[in-house]
Structure 1
Amino acid sequence: MGSTIVSSSCDWLCSEEQSFIEWGSSEQDSPRRTYLIPEDIGSGWVESMHLPLNQVIRHGRVTFKPEVSGRLYPVTKMVEHFKEPVLCIQSVRTGLVILSDHNHKQDLIINRNASLFQHFDHRNSSAKMDTSEDVDYVILIIGDSVLRELFGEESAASLLRGLRVTLIPSGIVNKVPNHINAILHSAVSDHLTGATAKLHAQSKVLDYLCSLYKYFATEVKEEQSSQNVKELIHQVHNDLIQLQGKVPALGELAKHYDISVKQLSHEFRNTYKKSLFSYISEVRLNEAQASLQNTDTPMKTIAKNLGYSHVNHFITAFNRQFGYSPGSLRKKNNTAAPSKPSL
């Protein structure tokens, strides 16, 4: 069975040598690879297993020398492509990792009490580690189709809602009880090898997923049954504010968040005093105005990131909200900017 992962590439940022490695769908079963870390900094390794139910689990350890304590040390840059959207979970048993998501330009802090949950169809990120403590981490990657096969359509959707990663792409750090994290970390064993190690890891991953569902998804169901939708509407708002590109249709959003179209529309307007699409459009155009004033980002790129199919549609909407064109704003700022002295 081929992995959900189409390709993975890793660049060891901690090495001055050319250290770019790649592996494909059939190579996700990988023995320990040594981190190319200078000896005066420390040492480490990472290993990967493709599990029987088509999930991939990775385990890594990095040990730092006491002399370098207190730094944030760049370790790897990772680019991956997937056959379908995946749920990617990153958890640490010891240490602290700062993951930079280059697609969304955000830094996410992972420690023993807070795990990172991402829902995406490609990854472009880099990691720094706090050298104050050795880092022991686990990464679990599960395709959406595998998640639905394990849980069923409705329960899989409930889990994603509970984790707050229904949209693609999305990512959030959630606090997870230690007893649940411990199950995931026990999936990787130093004493087992081959098929036995995979069987052990698979059983622990299933146990972990069930515990995760019980903790996060059950809570969502209880909130919904008590008609406490205020928090859900705030979640919709926060997810859409972070989303780039076209905003999903109202019916699609309602299905994602397990709420009726009528209730979603009504509750959003009650909370934010505007229709959902009017509100998001206004926020995005304000962001566009700031980008035009403070960056040299091409207008076509700004329009695409805001979800406009054509730059002319963006220009019309911008003009309608502010009373002047985006081109005139950029021209005004370029004219006002002081020219650089010639050498």
Structure 2
Amino acid sequence: MSSPAGEHVYSLTFFFTAQVFCELFHDWPDALTQLGHRDTIGLSPKVILHEEPIDPRSLLLLSQIMHCPYQGQAASLFLEAKVLELMAIKMANSFGSTQKRNRSLTKRELESVHHAYHLLLDQSQSAPCLEDLCRMVGLNRNKMNQGFREIFGDTVFGVVKKAKLCRAWSLLEQTDLSLVEVALEAGYKNQASFTTAFCKHFGCTPGSLRRS
């Protein structure tokens, strides 16, 4: 996949030995049960490749990992915690859980929930209200809320909030916009509400992040 000229592309890779992975996650998904075993020829371990879109929670964690605010031992602890949190999310999202396998939503309803999710990410700056979103994808309110909790582990409002905060984080790092302009671009009505939400979620103010 190519990227536009002049656009920076970042890559992060995390490595776990099979032994460490097994110690961290005692109940492996079916897809990983053979990960720690050598093949019949005995030459190399099994290789598993899985690709999927980056959800807002993972995007937030990746941003925090790439811009660790600490140094020394504090940085090591911070990064280790964030990587483990990211792994927990990917384990749950990528390979599913008993709850996901027992979903009561139909295939069409699941497709509608995914459609709604992408609409929210595309329009996070001025996201439609829940009623309008339900009407756009043809789902009722209960099914929409149920689908978001089962698939994304959050409410519709929670997904929108995280998407807005991730956008704000990127704007603070990649642009020279003022804090007021960042707040408005991210979809907040004023700087005060933006600062409150940002500080509560990231543990630091937008101004301190930019200064760091």
Q: Which has the higher helix share?
A: 2
TM-score range, shorter chain: 0.3 to 0.5
TM-score by length of 1: 0.30
- Compare CA radii of gyration and give the structure with the larger one: 1
Q: Which has the higher strand share?
A: 1
